[in-house]
Each structure stands twice: as C-alpha cells, then as structure tokens.
C-alpha cells in the first residue's frame, strides 16, 4: 500500500519573509510565532519576516526560524498524515515533534541551544564546507581520507547521488576540493558557512548538547523517524536521543534515509517548511516518487483538514 512520508528542511532553506503570510492570515500561526518569541527571549518573528538576511543566516537565528516555520505549518494542516518522517540535520528535531517524540517547547529550546553551540564551535574551531557534484561516495570518501593528512575533513552530507557536501578544517577541505577536481568532479564550490558542521570540529557542541538532551523528556515516537546518522528508523527515546547528539559530528545520510523510506513503502514525500531543497533531492534520489511542498499560506488549502481560518 502506498504511504506518505513527511520531511523537514534544515539550514540553508531560510529566506527573508518566511512565515510572514502565515502570521498575517492565521491566528493559530500567529500564536506559534509569539510563543516562540517569548520562549527564545528575542523577536524571532521579526527576523523571519524582515531580516536582514545577514542576521537570518546566522546559525543561532536560522535554526529556530526554520523549526518554528515548519511546526506552524504542521499545526495549520490538521489532516497532514505521515506513515514515517525524517528531517535534514536541524529538520530531524522538527520530525521528532511531528512524530510526537518531543514537545514543541522542549524542541525549540534544544534547537536554540544547538544553534548557539554550533555557532560558538565554529568560532572556536574555524572550519568550512564545500559542495562536490559528480563523484561517487566511495571516491569522495577516499579523497577525504587522503586529504586528512593536512587537516580534518570528511563527508558531511550525502544529499543525493553525485551531490555530497564535505566539511572540516580550512586546509583539509581545500585540499580535498583540489583532489576532487583532479578526480573528475563536475563542480566543487566552497560554501558560505559559520562552521564545519557534521564534522569532528563540532565536538564541543555535541558534548554540551548531549547534556541538554539527557535532561529533556523524549517520548516513544508514534511513527518511525529516519535517523540522519544511520538512515534507519528509530522510535525508542534513547535511540532518538543518541541520534540527535551524534548527528552534530557525523555525516547526514540523507540519500540512504530516503531510499530506506521508499523501500518501506513511501511513494509520496511532503516537504514542510521553507523552500524546495528536499523535494529536489528526493527527485534526484528516485524520480518515480511524488513530491509536494508546504511552505506558504496558499499551499495549505491543498491538504485535507487544513485550518485556513482568517480574521
């Protein structure tokens, strides 16, 4: 029987103006943004709606912004059904809320802490990331292994076939970039980021986040959450806790997660949150599945059970 999977974006999908139409046209969405502002202690909503972009791009702001936008959309679409779920990096927290494993308020506090810790780790242990297109996973893994002679570098995001992001120290990543070009990569581009995410340079952030996760109540998930770290479904609280901590220093195995979800019956993927990045990745992983997006207020009416009440 065909099943629907719900997926949530991570950092990089943000844009100035995100959520503004939801806030203006739905009292329920307005409540979410106002509650988030109160919990966070600053006007996240203003940053989402007005920017400036340079502020919104800061990790400590980007992560709660995407999270709140995505959860507000989930709440508005009361009939959004998913037999399974996953989220890219930060999006795994949103997926855990969708699956009933985390409360909104607890997840928001974790996401705020995670963003702050990652930004601080990036300042304390400067690093960079680069996108590599056109190389097989095994080839790029070998490149990173060889380039590690000059500095930390590893594959950080296995996004789709032939699209992988590497992460680590500036010397390590730049050496791997040179080697990837020599091995025939179609495109190699250094990314504008504030740290070497999903690499060992995030170790300090992981240690502090683990402590917060230990003191946060996590419930058994109602539906499987496909882990970034393993690509496999998890539901047990301790497994979820470990996955959320490990993903800071481990690669995001997104392509593997999507393949496993398809193997487990998913034929439709609904991306909930800003942008269309994940829809594009899913199509590159398997072009036969259907993809849908839920980002703006005008998208909501396409889903059953939607609350489109306006004042």
Are 287 and 280 in contact by the 8 Å Cβ rule? The answer is: no
Tell me which of 26, 45, 70, 89 is the catalytic residue.
89
Helix H, strand E, coil C: the string for 139-206 is: HHHHHHHHHCCCCCEEEEEEEECCEEEEEECHHHHHHHHHHHHHCCCCEEEECCCCCCCCCHHHHHHH
The tally of CA atoms less than 13 A away on the side-chain side of residue 176 is: 35
Are 59 and 195 in contact by the 8 Å Cβ rule? The answer is: yes
198 in catalytic set? yes
Q: Enumerate the β-bridge partners of residue 270.
A: 6, 292
Tell me which of 13, 160, 169, 198 is the catalytic residue.
198
Q: Which of 215, 145, 131, 111 is nearest to 181 (CA)?
A: 131
89 in catalytic set? yes
> Token pair for residue 196?
């070497």
Catalytic residue list: 89, 198
């Amino acid at each position: 029987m065909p099943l629907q999977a719900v997926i949530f974006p991570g950092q990089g999908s943000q844009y100035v103006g995100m959520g503004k139409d939801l806030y203006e046209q739905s009292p329920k969405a307005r409540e979410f943004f106002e509650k988030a502002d109160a919990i966070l202690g600053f006007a996240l909503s203003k940053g989402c709606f007005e920017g400036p972009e340079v502020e919104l791009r800061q990790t400590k702001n980007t992560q709660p912004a995407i999270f709140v936008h995505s959860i507000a959309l989930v709440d508005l679409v009361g009939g959004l059904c998913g037999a399974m779920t996953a989220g890219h990096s930060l999006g795994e927290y949103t997926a855990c809320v969708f699956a009933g494993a985390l409360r909104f308020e607890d997840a928001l506090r974790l996401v705020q802490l995670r963003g702050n810790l990652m930004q601080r780790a990036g300042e304390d242990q400067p690093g960079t990331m680069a996108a590599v297109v056109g190389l097989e996973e095994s080839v790029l893994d070998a490149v990173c292994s060889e380039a590690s002679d000059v500095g930390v570098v590893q594959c950080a995001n296995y996004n789709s076939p032939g699209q992988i992001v590497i992460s680590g120290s500036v010397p390590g990543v730049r050496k791997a970039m040179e080697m990837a070009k020599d091995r025939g990569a179609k495109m190699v581009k250094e990314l504008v980021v504030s740290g070497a995410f999903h690499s060992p340079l995030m170790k300090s952030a992981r240690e502090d986040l683990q402590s917060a996760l230990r003191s946060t109540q996590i419930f058994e998930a109602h539906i499987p959450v496909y882990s970034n770290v393993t690509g496999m479904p998890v539901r047990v609280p301790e497994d979820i806790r470990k996955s959320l901590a490990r993903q800071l220093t481990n690669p995001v195995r997104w392509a593997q997660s999507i393949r496993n979800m398809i193997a487990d019956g998913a034929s439709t993927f609904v991306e909930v949150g800003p942008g269309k990045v994940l829809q594009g990745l899913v199509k590159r992983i398997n072009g036969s599945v259907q993809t849908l997006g839920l980002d703006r207020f005008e998208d909501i009416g396409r889903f059953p059970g939607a609350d489109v009440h306006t004042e």
